[in-house]
Amino acid sequence: MIQRFLDIPRAAKLAGVPRSEIRRLINEQVLTASDGKIQYDELLRVYPEIRRSPSAMLEIVSQIKDDAISKSPHDGSCKQNMDLNIVAAELNRSRQEAIYYRELAGKYKQILKELRPKLATLQQKSEHKHRIQALIDWFVHKTKELW
């Protein structure tokens, strides 16, 4: 059997109750909603008088039509273009960030290259050569992926 679903506004209209009543029933777990939609058969269980309503099938057909239109690639082409523009702008911003961080990484790499010989010179002049060597070893270990 095909499961038919209604959004909350349509379910409320069909049941002849305010939307807040449908939401209350969902919160109290009398009705369950999935992605903001309620199963028609479950609505009938709570509101059996809907079965006698001639507008019930019209509401279901309208819901199906609205769902199909919202998923249609032809509907909302303006929205799709807007979405593409947003994605393009985000991609451009990400490219600019990548350029910035690549340049920054290059600067840090240059600093590390300059620091390495300075540490060796410091070791030669120091009376604590083993301590400076430990520092150099640590430095080489931490930066080995950069070379």
Residue ending a domain, choose from 71, 102, 125: 71
Here the tokens at position 53 are 């309503």
Please tell me the distance from the alpha carbon of residue 123 to that of residue 99, in angstroms, as a whole number: 37
Please state, as a whole number, how many other Cβ atoms lie within 10 Å of the Cβ of residue 144: 8
Q: Do residues 83 and 48 share a domain?
A: no
Q: Do residues 19 and 46 share a domain?
A: yes
pLDDT tens digit sequence for 10-45 = 888 888 899 999 999 999 999 988 888 898 888 888
Q: Do residues 65 and 98 share a domain?
A: no
Cα atoms in the Cβ-side hemisphere of radius 13 Å centred on 64: 10
Res 140: pLDDT: 85
Q: Do residues 52 and 86 share a domain?
A: no
Res 23: pLDDT: 93
Q: Do residues 82 and 140 share a domain?
A: yes
> Number of folded domains in the chain?
2
Domain, as residue range, for 141? 77-146
Q: Do residues 10 and 63 share a domain?
A: yes
Q: Do residues 138 and 89 share a domain?
A: yes
